[in-house]
Amino acid sequence: MKQWWKMIAVVVLAVTLLIELAMSDPQANKISQPGRECSGFDAANPSEYFRNLNSTFADLRRQLSVEKKHFATAEQASTVANNVYTLFQCRDYLSTADCVACFDIAKVEARKICKLNHGARVIYDGCFLRYEVRTFYTETELGLSSEVCRGKGTVPAETAFKLVAVQLLKDLADATPKLKSYFAVAKRQVFDGGPSAKASVTVYALAQCTGTVSQGDCGKCLMGGYSNIQACLPQPGGSSAAGGCFMRYSVTPFFADNDITNIMPHVEGGDIREVNKLQGPTIYRYKDLKSATKNFSEECKVGEGGFGDVYKGIISNGTIVAVKKLVVRTSKEMAAFESEVRLISDVHHRNIVRLLGCSGTGPVQLLVYEYMENGSLDTFLYGDKRGTLSWKKRVGIILGIARGLAYLHEQFHVCIIHRDMKSSNVLLDDDFQPQIADFGLARLLPTDQSHLTTRYAGTVGYTAPEYAIHGHLSEKVDTYGFGIVVLEVISGRRCNHMKNELVTQSLLEHAWKSYNNGTHEDLIDETIDSGEYNVENAKKMIEIALKCTQSPVSLRPTMSEVVVMLMNYASSEPKQINKGPVE
Ligand SMILES: *[C@@H]1O[C@H](CO)[C@@H](O)[C@H](O)[C@H]1NC(C)=O
Ligand SMILES: *[C@@H]1O[C@H](CO)[C@@H](O)[C@H](O)[C@H]1NC(C)=O
Ligand SMILES: *[C@@H]1O[C@H](CO)[C@@H](O)[C@H](O)[C@H]1NC(C)=O
Ligand SMILES: *[C@@H]1O[C@H](CO)[C@@H](O)[C@H](O)[C@H]1NC(C)=O
Ligand SMILES: CC(=O)N[C@H]1CO[C@H](CO)[C@@H](O)[C@@H]1O
C-alpha cells in the first residue's frame, strides 16, 4: 500500500516538473548583431572595472528576482574610467524565473564576446542587456537599428499575410509609446480570401521601448524598427532592434493569449477603428426611427439604393444618422436579417461605413448607419462638387477604397463580396477618406456552396461580365467594379456616359483605346492641374485600373494585391521639391 502511494507521489512530482519545464522558456535565442555587440576600448583597470560591473549585475539580479522587475538599471561609480552603467530589460510576458534565467545567460555571453571592452550589448528574443563606461539610458541608437529575419519556407496567402503583418506592426508601433509599460503584444489572423474564409495563419507581434527613453524617442525608434522589420516579410519571422526599442513578429506564438495588450484605444490612423467587440448592434424601435426621419418624408430622403431608400435622421440623443429602408422580400430573408446585421456590425474599418444598428420588428426592416455629411464620391467627380478633388486626394481615395475592399474580402472572418461597387456607394468623410457603403446587403457569400448565383445585384457599367451574364460571383466582381471606379476617379467621367462624343461609349472601352494608343493623358480629368501629377505615374494608375477589369477573372488581381500595387505606386509618386533660392 505504501509503495503504491510513493509511486503516485513520484509520478505527480515528475509530471509537475515536466509541466514546469515545458512552460518555462527564457527565450534566450540570441539576435546576432555581429560587429555591434562590443563598444569602447579595453578597460584600463580591468580588475576594478569588472568588479564594478559584477556589482551592477548583482544589483540587477536582485531587482529582477526580488522586486520582480522586468526593466532595471544599475550603476557603480568609482573613478571616471571605471564607472559602470548597466541596463537590463525582459519582455513583459516572461515569468520572473525566465527573466532571471535570460539575464544569467546574457551576462555570461556579454562577457564572453566583449572580454575586456568597456561596453557590450546582447539581444535575445526574451531580453536585452547593455553596459557602458558612460550613461546611455536615454539613447535610442536609431542609426544602429537592424533587422534579423528568421524562419524558412513560405507562409500561405503571402500577400494577405504581408498586409496583415504590416498593419499589425504599424498599430503596435503607434500604440506602444502611449502605454505606460512601453510594451505591447498582439496577434491577428490572416484570411486567405478564398470562399472558405479559413484563417490560413496567425501573426504574433511585439513592440517594446527601453524604460528610460522619452515617449517621443520611443515613437521614433519604433517607426525605424517598423520600417526595418518589413524587409523580413513575407518570411515567417523577424525582429528589429536598436538601443531604445525592439520589435518582433512570428507565425509561431511566443506569448500566451492572456498576455495580449489591448492596443485599440491607442491606435490612431490605423485601419482598424477603436472597437468594443462586445457591444454589438443597437436595436432601435421602429417608431423612434420613423419620427427621426419625419415619417420617412421626402425632405429627409438623401438617396435611393438598389435595396431601398436612405433617409437622414436625428435620433433622440441628437446624433445624426442615415436610416436605410430595406426591401426584404421572403421570410427566409427576414430570418437572416438579424444575424446578418450582427455580422455586418462587426465590420470595423476606417474605409467602411459603420453600421450602428437596426430595427427588425416594424413593417419594414431598417438599418442605421453613421451619417456622412459630404455625400458620395460621384458628386465630387461628375456631380455638383465636380472639380474639388486634387490628384493627391484622388490617389488617397483610391487607396482607401482598395483597403476597405481588401478588408471585406480577406481580413474579416467571413469573406464579404460587395457586389455593387460604384462611385455612388463610396461616401467621403470630412477628411476625404472614402467610406464604402451598402456592403454585405446582397447576402454574404455562402461558404459551403459554389459561386453560382442567379441573383444579380450589380449596376450596369460597373458589373463584371461573368457576373452580369452568367451570374458567376467571386471577389473579383468587386475588383472589376473597383477598376471602373478608379477610371471614374481619374477621368471625372461617368462609366457609361461619354460627353463630347456622338456615340455612347463606355469609359472602359475608351480607356483601353487611349492606353493602347499612348494618348492616356487625355483620360485625366481636365479639372486637375496638370502640374499636380506626373504623366508616367498617372499611366501606372490607369494600368492598375485596367488590370482590375481584365477577363478572364484569373487575370484580375485580388484586392490585397491591388493595395500592394498602390502602395508601390504611392512610394514612386514624385515628392514635391522645394523650389527655394539656389544656393
Ligand atoms: C565577475 O564575476 C565573474 C562571474 O561570477 C567572475 O568570474 C569574475 O572573476 C568576476 N570579476 C571580478 C573582477 O570580480
Ligand atoms: C407622422 O405620421 C403620423 C400619423 O401616421 C402623424 O400623426 C404625425 O404628425 C406625422 N409626423 C410628421 C412629423 O409628419
Ligand atoms: C447616441 O446614440 C448612439 C447609439 O444609438 C451612440 O452610438 C452615440 O454615441 C450616442 N451619442 C451621444 C452623443 O450620446
Ligand atoms: C489615337 O491617337 C490619335 C493620334 O494621336 C488621335 O487622333 C486619336 O484620337 C487617338 N484615339 C483615341 C481613342 O484616343
Ligand atoms: C468638400 C466638402 O464638401 N467638404 C465639407 C465636408 O463636410 C464638412 C463638415 O460638414 C464641411 O465643413 C466641408 O466643407
- Going from N- to C-terminal start, the domains of the chain cover 33-132, 142-263, 280-371, 377-583
Q: How many residues does the chain have?
A: 583
Nearest in space to 82 (alpha carbons), one of 106, 108, 64, 56:
56
Over residues 246-267, mean pLDDT: 87
Q: Establish whether residue 282 lines the binding site of ligand 3, counting it when its CB lies within 6 angstroms of any ligand atom.
A: yes
Q: Give the pLDDT of residue 240.
A: 93
Cell output for 346:
462587426
CA neighbor of 231 nearest in space, from 174, 170, 147, 154: 147
295 lines ligand 2 (CB under 6 A): yes
Band of pLDDT at residue 277, cut at 50, 70 and 90: very low
pLDDT at site 2: 54
Flag whether pLDDT at 437 surpasses 80.
yes
Identical fold between 33-132 and 142-263: yes
Ranges 86-90, 301-305, 366-370, most confident: 86-90
CATH superfamily, region 33-132: Gnk2 domain, C-X8-C-X2-C motif (3.30.430.20)
Nearest ligand to the C-alpha of residue 48? 1
pLDDT band of residue 336 (cuts 50, 70, 90) is low
What would the mean pLDDT of 242-250 be, rounded to a whole number?
A: 94
Q: Determine if ligand 1 sits within 6 Å of the CB of residue 578.
A: no
Choosing from 92, 125, 378, 420, the catalytic residue is 420
Tell me: pLDDT of 579 over 50.
no
Q: What is the DSSP letter of 124?
A: B
pLDDT at 136: 92
> pLDDT (tens digit, 9 = 90+) per residue, 479-505?
999 999 999 999 999 887 655 555 556
Q: Among 172-186, 292-306, 567-581, which is the least confidently predicted range?
A: 567-581
pLDDT, mean of residues 467-473: 82
**Contact predicate 434/482, CB 8 Å:** no
Distance CA 133, CA 86 (A): 9
Tell me the C-alpha distance between 102 and 319, whole Å.
54
Average pLDDT over residues 167-194: 86
> Is there an atom of ligand 1 within 6 Å of 450 CB?
no
The H or E element containing residue 517 is helix 507-517
Q: Is the CB of 51 under 6 A from ligand 1?
A: yes
Which ligand 1 atom is nearest residue 50's CA?
13
Mean pLDDT of 76-83: 87
Give the closest ligand to the alpha carbon of residue 84.
Answer: 1
The residue assigned the cell 569602447 is: 40
In this predicted structure, what is the pLDDT of residue 526?
A: 93
> 280-371: which CATH topology?
Phosphorylase Kinase; domain 1 (3.30.200)
How many whole angstroms from 132 Cα to the centroid of ligand 1?
17
Residue predicted with more confidence, 329 or 378? 378
**pLDDT for residue 37:** 87
Q: Which of 295, 296, 298, 311 to mutate to test the pocket of ligand 2 (most atoms within 8 A of CB)?
A: 295
C-alpha 437 – ligand 5 centre gap (Å) = 18
Ligand nearest to the CA of 498: 4
pLDDT computed for residue 453 by the predictor: 42
DSSP string, 57-99: HHHHHHHHHTS--SEEEEEE-SSGGG-EEEEEEE-TTS-HHHH
Pocket probe for ligand 5: among 320, 427, 430, 435, the residue whose CB has the most ligand atoms within 8 Å is 430
Place of cell 439604393: 305
Query: What was the pLDDT predicted at 163?
Result: 81
325 is in an annotated binding site: yes
DSSP state letters, 370-403: E--TT-BHHHHHTSTTTT---HHHHHHHHHHHHH
Ligand 1 site, residue 65, Cβ cutoff 6 A: no
The alpha carbon of 102 and the centre of ligand 1 are apart by a number of angstroms equal to 18
Say how far apart CA 171 and CA 228 lie, in whole Å. 15
The response to whether residue 374 sits with its C-beta less than 6 Å from ligand 5 reads yes
pLDDT at res. 500? 55
Do residues 66 and 105 lie in contact, with contact meaning Cβ atoms separated by under 8 Å? no
d(CA 370, CA 354): 6
Strands 282-283 and 355-359: parallel
What is the rounded distance in angstroms from the CA atom of residue 408 to the CA atom of residue 418?
8
Query: Which of these ranges, 246-255, 272-281, 463-472, has the smallest mean pLDDT?
Result: 272-281
Measured by CA distance, the residue closest to atom 7 of ligand 2 is: 295
Average pLDDT over residues 377-401: 93
Which ligand is closest to the CA of 291, given by its number?
2
Q: Report CA Rg, the chain.
A: 29
CATH topology of domain 142-263: Killer Toxin P4; Chain A (3.30.430)
Pick the CATH number of 377-583 from 1.10.4010.10, 1.10.510.10, 1.10.3470.10, 3.10.20.440: 1.10.510.10
Cβ of 430 closer than 6 Å to ligand 5, yes or no, is yes
> What's the gap in Å between 517 CA and the centre of ligand 4?
6
Minimum CA distance residue for ligand 2 atom 2: 295
Q: Is 54 in the pocket of ligand 1 (CB under 6 A)?
A: yes
What does the mean pLDDT of the chain come to?
A: 83
Q: pLDDT tens across 510-526, in order? A: 899 989 998 989 999 99
pLDDT category, 573, cuts 50, 70, 90? low
Which atom of ligand 2 is nearest to 294's Cα?
Answer: 13
Nearest CA to ligand 3 atom 6: 319
Comparison of pLDDT for 458 and 121, the residue scoring more: 121
Pair 103, 86: CB distance under 8 Å: no
**Confidence band, pLDDT 50/70/90 cuts, at residue 273:** very low
> Is residue 420 annotated as a catalytic residue, yes or no?
yes
pLDDT value at 123 more than 70: yes
Please tell me the distance from the alpha carbon of residue 26 to that of residue 99, in angstroms, as a whole number: 6
Percent of the chain with pLDDT over 90: 44
Query: Within 6 Å (CB) of ligand 4, which residues are found?
Result: 513-514, 517, 519, 522
Ligand 1 pocket member 61 (CB < 6 A): no
CA distances in angstroms from 511 to 419, 506, 519, 524, listed in the order given = 23, 9, 9, 10
The H-assigned helical ranges of 295-368 are 331-344
User: Ligand 3 mean position to 276 CA, how many Å?
Assistant: 14
pLDDT of 193: 55
Mutation choice for ligand 1 from 45, 49, 50, CB with most ligand atoms inside 8 A: 50
Q: What average pLDDT score do residues 461-487 get?
A: 90
> What integer pLDDT is reported at residue 62 of this predicted model?
96
199-209 vs 183-191, strand pairing mode: antiparallel
Region 228-234 average pLDDT: 87
Instruction: Give the per-residue pLDDT at 48.
Output: 94
Contact present, 225 and 213 (Cβ < 8 Å): no
